């Protein structure tokens, strides 16, 4: 399915679905110096324990800290993503059982 909105361009940043790493790392298609405008994210935890995802800017300052991803569940409720400029983007997770995806504009 194509982008359904005619008055706004489709997001130019999409990390794709991938395992969120333990150490703060740039998601796929992201870096530590570009300006990102996050529109949203999705996280699913296939593990037996709750996990916490941390999103930071390129200098490791928390943007969205401690997003709880319950065991065998998804992020609920989806947070209100701050549509604001973030210089650089990194993510990390307390468990290696979480698959995540971020999207927005660069």
- Is residue 67 within 8 Å of residue 73, measured between CB atoms? no
| Predicted local distance difference test score (pLDDT) of residue 3 | 61
How much is the average pLDDT of 38-66?
94
pLDDT in tens, 17-42: 999 999 999 999 999 999 999 888 99
**Residue 55 is inside which H or E element, if any?**
strand 51-56
**Residue 85 is inside which H or E element, if any?**
strand 85-87
pLDDT in tens, 93-103: 999 999 999 99
Res. 7 pLDDT band, cuts 50 70 90: confident
Domain limits, the chain: 20-105
Res. 5 pLDDT band, cuts 50 70 90: low
20-105: CATH number:
2.60.290
């Amino acid at each position: 399915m194509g982008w359904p909105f005619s008055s706004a361009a489709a997001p130019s940043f999409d990390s794709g679905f991938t395992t969120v790493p333990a150490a703060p790392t740039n998601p796929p298609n992201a870096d530590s110096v570009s300006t990102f405008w996050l529109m949203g994210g999705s996280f699913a935890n296939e593990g037996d324990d709750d996990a916490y995802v941390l999103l930071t800017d390129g200098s490791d300052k928390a943007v969205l800290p401690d997003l709880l991803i319950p065991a065998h569940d998804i992020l609920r409720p989806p947070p209100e993503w701050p549509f604001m400029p973030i210089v650089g983007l990194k993510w990390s997770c307390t468990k290696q059982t979480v698959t995540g995806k971020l999207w927005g504009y660069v």
